[in-house]
């Protein structure tokens, strides 16, 4: 992983993203932090979905996935991941 | 099973503690045990990290090794906790016995702790998502997971707190502000002993917690020991999961 991005979600938890990017494309990402995901394995689903996509497409895909309601995240929203990633300029 | 049960305090190492919690969750899911409250302490003192945390981002491995403290990754999300002067509870309940809304269910279960603190003479309040405050300061952090129709929630009740000691084992996002960060955590975190102005023993805290949970759930908690099946499950979880580097280093 090339970079660590720390982002405190307002009224939420601390997102600590480990990310490897190629320009705008996410090569690899690990979403870590003190949040909750139910079921916990949902985090791998989110990470897998983001890999190989441009940041905007990746975040949109995560938003859609979370809207389905099968994975419940407490402590951040899909748009917080977008904000965190946007705050880091290559 | 309408009767609920309690397993009184035992002192264990970190990996065994987390193995027993998950074993209880599995045993409850298989309907082998009733809803159960368990109380425990940690020896040696330990750092537990949340399911989603990166070990290397959160914990100073060298300092940990020197300190002789244990490290364990929890089955639950949430933040890094230094388990030293505290009493920890875990509770396994059928999902039917709490709200399906996760934050609401935190509040329902935390009510047991809040009632216990009230019985000791402290006015405590729930702070979403998963904290309990006394006088605006955190004295308890809680975390839950849900599997196979069962909720496992565990949480710590700080009897004493030494933020400086804790931070020797934890990494901070920015070393330049380490002292500032410690000062701000010291302002936001307190303990039962500090708030009451006297030393509360583990036994006294335990009695208050059992009464607090009994009152808040309107149930009698009957004392029991671990069943053999729970201990067998826990042994397997200890060997294959919680004591393994693969699990500890998973993220």
pLDDT in tens, B180-227: 889 999 999 999 999 999 999 999 999 999 999 999 999 999 999 999
A13 contacts in B (CB within 8 Å)?
A: 79, 129
Regarding beta strands B4-12 and B36-42, do their DSSP bridges make them parallel or antiparallel, or are they unpaired? parallel
Q: What is the mean pLDDT of residues B34-61?
A: 97
pLDDT at res. B20? 98
* pLDDT tens per residue, range B71-126: 999 999 999 999 999 999 999 999 999 999 999 999 999 999 999 999 999 999 99
Is A4 an interface residue toward B (CB < 8 Å)? yes
**DSSP string for residues in B127-141:** ETTTEEEETTEEEEE
Indicate the average pLDDT of chain B.
Answer: 96
Confidence of residue A88 (pLDDT cuts 50, 70, 90): low
Beta strands in chain A (DSSP E): 3-8, 14-22, 25-33, 36-38, 72-74
Quick one: which H or E segment has residue A50? Answer: helix A42-50
Q: Is B95 exposed, middle or buried (0-12, 13-18, 19+ CB in 10 A)?
A: middle
Chain A interface, mutation test: which of B18, B25, B52, most A Cβ atoms within 10 Å?
B52
Give B75's contacts in chain A (Cβ within 8 Å). Answer: 40
pTM of the model: 0.94
A23 — pLDDT class (breaks 50, 70, 90): confident
In sequence order, the β-bridge partners of residue A3 are: A19
B176 interface with A at CB cutoff 8 Å: no
Q: Computed over its alpha carbons, how large is the radius of gyration of chain B?
A: 17
């Amino acid at each position: 992983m090339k970079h660590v991005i720390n982002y405190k979600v307002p009224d939420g938890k601390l997102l600590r993203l480990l990310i490897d990017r190629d320009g705008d494309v996410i090569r690899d990402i690990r979403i870590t932090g003190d949040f909750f995901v139910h079921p916990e394995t949902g985090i791998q689903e989110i990470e897998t979905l983001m890999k190989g996509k441009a940041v905007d497409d990746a975040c949109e895909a995560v938003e859609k996935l979370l809207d389905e309601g099968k994975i419940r995240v407490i402590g951040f929203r899909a748009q917080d991941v977008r904000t965190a990633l946007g705050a880091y300029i290559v | 099973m309408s009767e609920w049960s309690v397993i009184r305090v035992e002192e264990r190492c970190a990996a065994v503690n987390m193995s027993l919690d998950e074993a209880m969750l599995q045993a409850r899911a298989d309907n082998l045990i009733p809803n159960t409250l368990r109380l425990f302490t940690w020896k040696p003192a330990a750092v537990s990290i949340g399911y989603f945390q990166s070990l290397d981002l959160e914990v100073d491995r060298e300092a940990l090794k020197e300190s002789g403290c244990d490290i364990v990754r929890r089955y639950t999300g949430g933040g890094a906790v230094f388990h030293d002067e505290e009493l920890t509870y875990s509770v396994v309940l059928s999902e039917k016995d709490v709200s399906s809304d996760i934050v609401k269910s935190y509040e329902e279960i935390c009510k047991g702790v809040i009632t216990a603190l009230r019985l000791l003479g402290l006015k405590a309040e729930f702070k979403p998502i998963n904290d309990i405050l006394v006088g605006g300061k955190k004295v308890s952090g809680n975390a839950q997971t849900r599997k196979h129709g069962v909720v496992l929630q565990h949480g710590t009740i700080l009897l004493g707190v030494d933020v400086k000691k804790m931070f020797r084992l934890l990494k901070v996002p920015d070393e330049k502000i380490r002292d500032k960060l410690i000062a701000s955590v010291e302002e936001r975190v307190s303990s039962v002993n500090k708030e009451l102005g006297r030393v509360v023993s583990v036994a006294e805290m335990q009695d208050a917690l059992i009464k607090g949970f009994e009152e808040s759930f309107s149930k009698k908690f009957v004392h029991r020991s671990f069943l053999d099946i729970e201990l067998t499950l826990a042994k397997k979880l200890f060997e294959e999961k919680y004591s393994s580097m693969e699990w500890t280093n998973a993220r």
